[in-house]
């Protein structure tokens, strides 16, 4: 039902964002081609994602948040994209495997982040004091807690939209395919 837009078929308001993604990634990913149907959604997600990338969480920490959302929401294309991103960051294969399999992480700090992210989602933000303290005790700050909320918002948008549009996995990501267990 959803169209794989090109720069020529996309609504004019989506074309600039599509061009930017294409230049950055070297190709136009299927999720972007499909999300282009709604210039507001595409632009909104890209802006939220850029804001999340600018937070004080480091790149691997941001990916832990993204993985928590993507695996919880069973977004296969998101897991593949972010597996590739973690590989590019030089993340340990054991970390990537645990994130993909939704298992506890060996790194206590990253595990605290993963658990906190899932708790924020499960409680719709009504995290109790004990859960927040457990997060803060691993060296995170209240600012980081709010940055987790930003990441959840950005990547809930992405995962739900990608699933709704049934965005397929691009051949460039075939080596990073993920299936729900």
DSSP of 95-113, one letter per residue?
HHHHHHTTPPPSSHHHHHH
Q: Which residues of the chain have pLDDT under 70?
A: 174, 179-181
At the top level of CATH, the class of 57-162 is: mainly alpha
- 111 burial type by CB count under 10 A (0-12 exposed, 13-18 middle, 19+ buried): middle
pLDDT of 178 reads 72
CA atoms within 13 A on the CB side of 13: 9
CB 101 within 8 A of CB 181: yes
pTM: 0.93
pLDDT of 169 reads 82
What are the residue ranges of CATH 1.20.1290.10 in the chain? 57-162
Distance separating alpha carbons of residues 58 and 92, to the nearest angstrom: 15
3-state secondary structure of 179: coil
Burial profile 3-21: b = 16 or more Cβ within 10 angstroms, e = fewer: ebbeeeebeeebbebbeeb
């Amino acid at each position: 039902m959803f169209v794989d837009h090109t720069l020529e078929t996309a609504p004019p308001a989506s074309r600039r964002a599509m061009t930017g993604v294409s230049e950055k990634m070297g190709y136009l990913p299927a999720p972007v081609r499909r999300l282009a149907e709604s210039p507001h959604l595409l632009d909104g997600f890209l802006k939220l994602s850029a804001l999340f990338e600018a937070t004080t969480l480091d790149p691997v920490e941001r990916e832990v948040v993204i993985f928590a959302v993507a695996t919880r929401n069973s977004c296969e294309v998101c897991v593949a994209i972010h597996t590739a991103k973690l590989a590019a960051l030089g993340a340990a294969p054991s970390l990537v495997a645990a994130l993909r399999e939704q298992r506890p992480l060996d790194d206590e700090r990253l595990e605290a982040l993963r658990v906190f992210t899932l708790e924020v989602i499960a409680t719709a933000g009504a995290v109790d004091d004990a859960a927040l303290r457990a997060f803060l005790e691993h060296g995170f700050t209240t600012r980081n807690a709010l940055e987790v909320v930003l990441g959840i918002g950005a990547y809930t948008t992405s995962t739900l939209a990608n699933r709704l549009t049934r965005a397929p996995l691009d051949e460039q990501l075939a080596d990073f395919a993920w299936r729900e267990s």
